[in-house]
Amino acid sequence: MPRVAAIQMCSTGDKAANLDRAAALLADAAEKHAQLVVLPEMFNCLGPGSVLKAGAEPIGGPTSQWAREHAARHKFWLVAGSIVESVGSTERTSNTSLLVSPSGEIVATYRKIHLFDCDVPGAEFHESQVVTPGDTIVSVPAAGVGTVGLSICYDLRFPELYRILALQGADVIVVPAAFTAKTGPAHWEVLLRARAIENQAYVVAAGQYGQSAPGLAWHGHSMIIDPWGVVVAEVGSDGDAVVVADIDPEYVRKTRKILPSLANRRPETYRFPNAASATSSSLKGATTQ
């Protein structure tokens, strides 16, 4: 059976140190015979806005080349969590994940669709002020592993994305993340297990832990969840880690057959109550979430 790995680390603004640490963790994953490895969100550079802006790179830049080299060296599929992608000559960036093949080719690029704009006390972020959202849902067949669906962190709160990935045939959905220490205890595992259960797919969640900079603290608790919603491997909130589990694409198909919730959908009845409710602007300031 294929083996997957979720990398947990605490990245900072020191890109060279982050890549050195990530390289050691990838080597550990290779020693554990992982065939698909997922790095966390912004694994190469993480900090306040000025740090992220300074660390932005184009696709094809140093971190992309680093990811290609390590995937080819270890001969596994690599989800290069996400990086801050510079976009032409504009001041704005993208939060971008790369799927790299065992031959070192970038076979898919996913730009985070849902941007973290949040005013929870202790977790105030406004990602959309500097980041351009993606507009394409991405799933890719990965030989020897199954079809891989791509998502990033805050995407986890939007079940529509994950349902479409499941309908596109995703066996494994990856969630590189920097989930906040404030929201993580109540929400992280619950949301991950919900996405696995409702879409009957494996979920591989690789998180940041610790504190990247003052005011930037992360939940950790990287984990792998099976299509029945069982956490099959996990780690706590402290320390670098390689979380490993075997997956079985046939178990995905079996689960979808014995409990056919995807087949029992009735999309012809699914409609927003009115046109306004389909837009995010109509929900701003709503008291029921």
The DSSP bridge partners found for residue 282 are none
Q: Pick the closest to residue 245 from 5, 1, 75 (CA basis).
A: 5
User: Is residue 31 annotated as part of the catalytic site, yes or no?
Assistant: no
Of 41, 85, 127, 234, catalytic: 41
The first and second tokens of residue 181, run together, are 């220490």
User: Is residue 41 annotated as part of the catalytic site, yes or no?
Assistant: yes
Full DSSP string of 31-76: HTT-SEEEPPTTTT--SSHHHHHHH-B-TTSHHHHHHHHHHHHHTS
Q: Answer yes or no: are the C-beta atoms of 28 and 242 closer than 8 Å.
A: yes
Q: Answer yes or no: are the C-beta atoms of 23 and 264 closer than 8 Å.
A: no
H or E element at residue 31 = helix 15-31
Of 45, 112, 127, 234, catalytic: 112
Residue with tokens 């709503």: 286
The DSSP bridge partners found for residue 213 are 216
User: Is residue 118 annotated as part of the catalytic site, yes or no?
Assistant: no
Q: Which residues are catalytic?
A: 41, 112, 153
